Chains A and B, each alone.
Chain A
Amino acid sequence: METVSYLNDGHGLKSWLLTKDHKRIALLYLVSITAFFGMGGLFAMFIRLELLTPAGDLLQAETYNKMFTMHGVVMVFFFLIPSIPAVLGNFLIPIMIGAKDLAFPRINLISWYIYILGGTFTFVAALSGGVDTGWTFYTPYSTAAANSHVVTAALGIFITGFSSILTGLNFIVTIHRMRAPGLTWFRLPLFVWAHYATSLIMILGTPVIAITVLLVGAERVLHLGFFDPALGGDPVLFQHLFWFYSHPAVYIMILPAMGVMSEIIQAFSRKNIFGYTFVAFSSLAIAIIGFLVWGHHLFVAGQSVYAGLIFSFISFLVAIPSAIKVFNWTATIYKGSISLESPMLYALGFIGLFTIGGLTGLFLSTMGLDIHMHDTYFVVAHFHYIMVGGAIMGYLGGLHYWWPKITGRIYAEIPARIAAGLVFIGFNLTFFPQFIAGYLGMPRRYHEYPPELQVWNVMSSAGASILAVGYAIPLFYLTYSLFAGEKSGADPWGAKGLEWEIPSPPPTSNFEVTPIVTHGTHQYEPSREVGIA
Chain B
Amino acid sequence: MRWRRSTDSKMFKNFPFFPEQASAQAAQVDAIYFFMVAVTAFFSLLIAALVVVFAIKYRRRHDAEIGVAIHGSIALELLWSFIPLVIAMVMFGWGAKVFFDMYRPPAGAMEIFVVGKQWMWKAQHADGMREINELHVPVGRPVKLIMGSEDVIHSYYIPAFRVKADVIPGRYNSLWFTATKPGRYHLFCAEYCGTKHSGMIGWVTAMEPAEYQAWLGGGSTTASPIAAGEKLFNDLACSTCHLANGTGRGPVLSGIFGKNVELQGGGSATVDEAYVRESIVNPQAKIVNGFQPIMPTFQGLVTEEQILQLIAYVRSLSQQAAGAPAGTPGS
Contact = CB atoms under 8 A, between A and B. Distances in A.
Interface in B138-189: 151-153, 155, 157, 159-160, 162-166, 168-171, 173, 186, 188-189
A323 interface: yes
Interface string A443-465: 11111111111110000000000
Interface stretch (A21-29, A97-105, A298-306, A408-416): A298-306
Given A338-B60, A375-B155, A276 B72 contact: yes
A437 B88 CA distance: 25
A436 B36 CA distance: 14
B96 interface: yes
Nearest to A272: B71
Interface string A246-282: 0000000000000000000000011110111110000
Contact of B162 (A232, A335, A372, A525): A372
A359 B44 contact: yes
B302 interface: no
A340 B88 contact: no
Interface stretch (A180-188, A203-211, A312-320): A312-320
B196 A313 contact: no
A82 interface: no
A145 B36 contact: no
A62 B195 contact: yes
Interface string B187-227: 01111111111110000000000000000000000000000
A60 to B, nearest CB: 8
Given A356-B40, A366-B36, A371-B163, A275 B73 contact: yes
A141 B168 contact: no
B73 A320 contact: no
Contact of B164 (A300, A308, A331): A300
B18 interface: yes
A289 interface: no
Contact of A360 (B28, B40, B91, B186): B40
Contacts of B193: 141
Contacts of A368: 28-29, 32, 94-99, 101-102
Contacts of A455: 14-15
Interface residues of A, number: 103
Contacts of B157: 375, 441, 443
Contacts of A275: 71-73, 76-77
A440 B159 contact: yes
Interface in B97-146: 97-103, 118
B193 to A, nearest CB: 6
Interface string B22-57: 000000110011001001100110011011001100
Contact of B71 (A274, A365, A526): A274
Contact of A61 (B44, B118, B199): B199
A214 interface: no
Interface stretch (B78-86, B237-245, B257-265): B78-86
Given A335-B70, A371-B165, 8 more contacts: A145-B118, A277-B72, A305-B99, A312-B95, A331-B70, A368-B102, A375-B190, A524-B66
16 contacts: A61-B196, A132-B195, A140-B169, A272-B69, A302-B171, A330-B47, A333-B50, A335-B70, A340-B55, A352-B44, A355-B43, A368-B28, A369-B36, A440-B16, A441-B157, A452-B16
